[in-house]
Amino acid sequence: MDELDELPVVTDTSEEYLNQRQLLDYRAEREACLEWLLTFGKRPDEAVGYAVGTVKPGAYRMDRFYRFVWDQEGGYTVNVTHDHADAWMKHLARGDTGATNKRNCQKAVKRLFKWRHHEHGRSEWDPDITFAADSSTNPRDFLTREERSAVREAALEYGSVPNYNNLTPAERDRWKQYLAQRFEKPKSEISPSDWDRANGWKVPSLVWSSLDAGLRPVEVERSKVGWVDTDNAVLRIPKEESAKNRDDWVVGLQSRTAEALDNWLAERETYPEYDDTDSIWLTRKSNPYTTKTLRYLLHQLCDIADIDTTHRQMSWYTIRHSVGTYMTREEDLAATQAQLRHKSAETTMKYDQVPVEDRQDALDRMG
């Protein structure tokens, strides 16, 4: 069925594990199970299946279960048993993932045995242990679509000053005083070039890159000019400089973000504090950005954008969580995993949720 094309029937990890004949057998097993879940899985007697969006994350988790069994048995098999399932639950219980992920893994395996029961006459599985519900693996807060746009626009306004030539002498004197404090230099040394710098592209390029790439604070801190490929609108992050230090990553950017980076890199060459560093961005005190300075910047942007941060934990990760949430909504978990540079699909699973405003829209449509 066409819906199978949207599902991870055989993951890349499993494909590497299997020889050609095992791969064909495993694919047939998976297709039969997933097709049954889509057609009958929810209420078999009424031929009511699960939605693709429900089956898809479970398919990844079932695949992980099979690979766990292969490791336990020392080789390939599709003859999974209740003992295998209970052993995996104990393995998960000892792991450091949150209870929500563990519960979802258990739910996926129960659906696998539900299929085996209805199609092969095997008994359903009653797990020895269960996991308490929590929300520790869910993003605690993220920017909505509207807030993302507002923050993007606020970055253009942040720190900007009126055009030098459009000011009266009295107005120019007041802005000189402001810029002297901002750039920590004598007022007498403020020149038109300081106006240009105040209206520069550092903050827009930083914010827009983070809104696209979901940059972690440590990635902003470690960022290098060599990452930037504006011709192809991507960041190329080498594994030795990535946060998890496991893989090279190619991360997509909007064309407007690539243009902002192009503008900033050209402007950056004019500032002496960048002469001895290949960091893309430094604070006004010529230090790399940190979690604390990025959090302060985000709060400033929220103030400009009139975003209420009361009762919200607004950090640079709030931007990252918004990328994960809406990339999953617009594309799929695979796209989110690549964009956010997750080694494990498990980590990406926390974004497999419908944003609250979409759920509210659904309620409105439901009447």
Q: What is the pLDDT of residues 80-127, one digit of tens each?
A: 999 999 999 999 998 877 777 888 899 999 999 999 999 999 999 999
Q: What pLDDT, on a 0 to 100 scale, did the predictor assign at position 133? A: 56
Are 283 and 229 within 8 A, CB to CB? no
pLDDT category, 204, cuts 50, 70, 90?
very high
> What is the band of 40 on the pLDDT scale with cuts at 50, 70, 90?
very high
Q: What does each C-alpha distance from 272 to 180, 267, 282 come to in angstroms?
A: 18, 11, 12
Alpha-carbon distance values, 43 to 16, 178, 325 (Å): 35, 68, 30
Q: Are 86 and 128 in contact (CB under 8 A)?
A: yes
**pLDDT, position 270:** 83
Half-sphere exposure for 343 (CA within 13 Å, toward CB): 8
Q: At residue 141, does pLDDT exceed 80? A: no
pLDDT tens digit sequence for 280-335: 999 988 999 999 999 999 999 999 989 888 878 888 888 888 877 766 665 555 66
Tens digits of per-residue pLDDT, 257-286? 999 999 899 888 988 899 999 999 999 889
Highest mean pLDDT among 73-82, 177-186, 246-255, 349-358: 73-82
* Beta-carbon-side half-sphere exposure of residue 124 (alpha carbons within 13 Å): 9
DSSP-derived pairing of the beta strands 249-252 and 234-237: antiparallel
The pLDDT confidence band at residue 177, using thresholds 50, 70 and 90, is confident
b vs e for 118-133, b when ≥16 Cβ sit within 10 Å of the residue's Cβ? eeeebeebeeeeebee
Amino acid at 338: A
Average pLDDT value for residue range 130-146? 64
The mean per-residue pLDDT over the stretch 335-362 comes to 55
pLDDT for the residue numbered 352: 52
Res. 215 pLDDT band, cuts 50 70 90:
confident
Give the residue with greater pLDDT, 53 vs 351. 53
Measure the CA dihedral 317/318/319/323, to 10°. 90
DSSP structural state of residue 166: G
User: How far is residue 7 from each of residues 59, 66, 138, 212, 288, measured CA to CA in Å?
Assistant: 7, 16, 23, 26, 42
Residue that wins the pLDDT comparison between 252 and 287: 287
Angle among Cα 140, 145, 151 to the nearest 5 degrees reads 90
Higher pLDDT pick, 257 / 194: 257
Q: What is the dihedral of CA 135, 138, 144, 150, to 10 degrees?
A: 120
Q: What is the mean pLDDT of the chain?
A: 83
Q: Is the pLDDT of residue 243 over 60?
A: no
Other Cβ atoms closer than 10 A to 79: 9
Share of the chain above pLDDT 70, in %: 83
**Cα 87 from Cα 89, distance rounded (Å):** 5
Q: How far apart are the first and last CA of the chain?
A: 32
